[in-house]
């Protein structure tokens, strides 16, 4: 079973606050991802990383930023939260191999900005 952890599970915060969503994995995976899941369930890739010190923006433009200082850790930060950021955020990881490697997901952080 995959070991990827996200905290907090739920977060309710006021507009303008800075927040960091944590994501850690213990599998030594090189690749990590952040997906945003809207209320209609659709998933959008917002950030990904090949490995330490590598981060890229995904398909959906996002005001969030990410960092990858350690292999196991891939936090997502919003400098100034807004109600439009209300969503579920899912972190995932996968192996860096030449073969097809499925993504392993955390349980997500459900963010509500009031």
75 binds other proteins (CB under 8 A): no
Which segment (13-21, 62-70, 73-81, 95-103) binds other proteins by CB under 8 A? 95-103
Cross-strand pairs, 34: 47, 91
Q: Which of 49, 111, 41 is nearest to 83 (CA)?
A: 111
- Binding to other proteins, residues 12-41 (CB under 8 A): 31, 33, 40-41
Q: How far apart are CA 33 and CA 49, in angstroms?
A: 6
CA atoms within 13 A on the CB side of 37: 14
Q: 48, 74, 76, 111: which one contacts other proteins (CB under 8 A)?
A: 48
Q: 11, 13, 45, 60: which one contacts other proteins (CB under 8 A)?
A: 45
Evaluate the omega torsion of the peptide bond into residue 8 and state whether it is cis, within 30 degrees of 0.
Answer: yes
107 binds other proteins (CB under 8 A): yes
CB nearer to other proteins: pick between 15 and 107: 107
């Amino acid at each position: 079973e995959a070991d990827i952890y996200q905290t907090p599970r739920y977060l309710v915060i006021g507009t303008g606050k800075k927040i960091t969503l944590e994501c850690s994995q213990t599998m030594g995976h090189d690749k990590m991802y952040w997906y945003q899941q809207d209320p209609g369930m659709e998933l959008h890739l917002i950030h990904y990383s090949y490995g330490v010190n590598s981060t890229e923006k995904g398909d959906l433009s996002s005001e969030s930023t990410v960092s990858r200082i350690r292999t196991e850790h891939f936090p997502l930060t919003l400098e100034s939260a807004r109600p439009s950021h209300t969503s579920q955020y899912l972190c995932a990881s996968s192996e860096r191999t030449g073969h097809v490697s499925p993504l392993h997901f955390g349980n997500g952080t459900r963010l509500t900005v009031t």
